[in-house]
Structure 1
Amino acid sequence: MKGLIPRIHAPFSVSPAFFLILLITWCLSTLPRIVNATSLTYSIAAHEKACFYAHVDKVGEKIAFYFAVQSGGAFDIDYIVTDPRGQLVISGDHERQGDFIFTANYVGEYSFCFANDMSTFAEKLVDFEITVENEPRAEFPQRPSAPEISTNMEDSLYRLSGSLNVVGRTQKYFRTRENRNLSTVKSTENRIFWFSLLESALIVGMAGLQVFVVRTFFNIRKGQWV
């Protein structure tokens, strides 16, 4: 069986392309461990207060908070963000959407609450995302012979990640605009339908009233002639 195994006498060398592929694969497998994100869509009933929580392991981590009201009422919601001590971080009333990034100064659970107290009966559909990300960059494996390749690839990956985040934000913005415009179109269609129905009922009522008046008039005139 040993005669079937080929012997390689040439020195083994890794091409730069193969090294870049391994680096990209390692980065993609490491990024989910660096970033902890939660993207949800929640329907908040009238007079309801819903809270969500994100845990921070160490001081200095970046927390990104994004929300947008997709449907319901005037597309507004009250929100409040508090730190583990219960102190206010950010808040707002009757806001349609928001996009915030702040630094966690304390370890523990940060609460993100939405309140629909201003609505009497309208439910609010809120699309939000909470992201907890470590500020320092990940340490990538480097080859002693070509450290500049690893540095350039690291910078390129972070620029690509930033561009993808911008694209994601833009897609969320257009999704929100589409949902709101669709809700406006549906509301306008309903108003046109009920207005047309009311207009038709008024026309039929006026026609019936005219017939009644004319018949009453001729009946009175006929009684007077007799």
Structure 2
Amino acid sequence: MWLAVLLVFPLLVSGHMIEVSAGKKECFFEDLHVNDKMTVTYQVGGGGHLDIDFWLADPGNTALAKHIKQSQGTAAITAKKDGRYEYCFSNHMSTVIDKMVSFNVHGVIYVDDEDIVSPIEREIRTLSHGLASVKDEQEYIVVRERTHRNTAESSNDRVKWWSILQVLVLFAVVAWQVYYLKSFFEVKRAF
């Protein structure tokens, strides 16, 4: 029974983590048929100002979605024609810093409603959509946690080194004061 349901309503999900080099772009593609649905969600997890350019184009190279300097985003389309749909992440705005991008691609292969026999299959479809959005949210939280942890560790290192510098300066000032006061109280003899 479950195998039949999976064959009737395939939901394709894939998640990726890529590094987009400075001044470069990374492109991917999906082959879709009319009425197939595809959703791309992404988030920049590291590098620079945590922003990236994103666009999604149809087989005729017409832009269906375009995000400029965004740290996260979602693009959802329904295919109007058969062919290869391309989506790209561009780091052309940066000349030095690489960016880490986490993204998920969800695709739903269109199945005519006449092929859906029972209400239980509709419920499975609804649950499948719900699970996909929970997975997206969970991956978003993991990337945010990583970003916040890196920020906290960086702040911790700066506080540690600033404290060490203050201790060294304190000891230097104490040593100078002891030397200065000692020389102030020394008796100088003239021969």
**TM-score, normalised on structure 1?**
0.70
Residues 80-125 of structure 1 show CA distances to partners (whole Å, capped at 9, x for unaligned) of: 2222222222222221111221122343222221122344543322
Report which of the two structures shows the higher radius of gyration computed on alpha carbons. Answer: 1
Superposition RMSD in Å: 2.8
Task: Specify whether residues 157 and 35 from structure 1 end up closer, same or farther in structure 2 by C-alpha distance, changes over 3 A only.
Answer: closer
Match in the other structure for 1:155: 122
Task: Specify whether residues 35 and 41 from structure 1 end up closer, same or farther in structure 2 by C-alpha distance, changes over 3 A only.
Answer: same
Identify which of structures 1 and 2 has the higher relative contact order when contacts are C-alpha pairs closer than 8 Å and 6+ apart: 2
Task: Specify whether residues 222 and 94 from structure 1 end up closer, same or farther in structure 2 by C-alpha distance, changes over 3 A only.
Answer: farther
Q: Which amino acid aligns with 1:49?
A: K
- Give yes or no for contact 1:42–1:126 (8 Å, CA) kept in 2: yes
Match in the other structure for 2:150: 183
Higher percent of residues as strand: 2
Higher percent of residues as helix: 1
The offset of 1:128, in angstroms, is 0.7
- Give yes or no for contact 2:8–2:111 (8 Å, CA) kept in 1: no
Distance 2:90 2:174 in 1: 50
Unaligned runs of 5+ in 1: 1-21, 141-149
- Give yes or no for contact 2:104–2:136 (8 Å, CA) kept in 1: no
Task: Specify whether residues 167 and 111 from structure 1 end up closer, same or farther in structure 2 by C-alpha distance, changes over 3 A only.
Answer: same
Distance 2:177 2:54 in 1: 57
Kindly, what percent of the aligned residue pairs are identical? Answer: 26
- From 188, 197, 201, the equivalent of 2:168 is 201
Unaligned runs of 5+ in 2: none
How many residues align? The count is 190
The 5-angstrom pairing of residues 83-162 of structure 1 reads 83-137=58-112, 139-140=115-116, 150-162=117-129
The offset of 1:70, in angstroms, is 2.0
- From 122, 133, 137, the equivalent of 1:170 is 137
* Deviating 4+ runs (over 6 angstroms): none
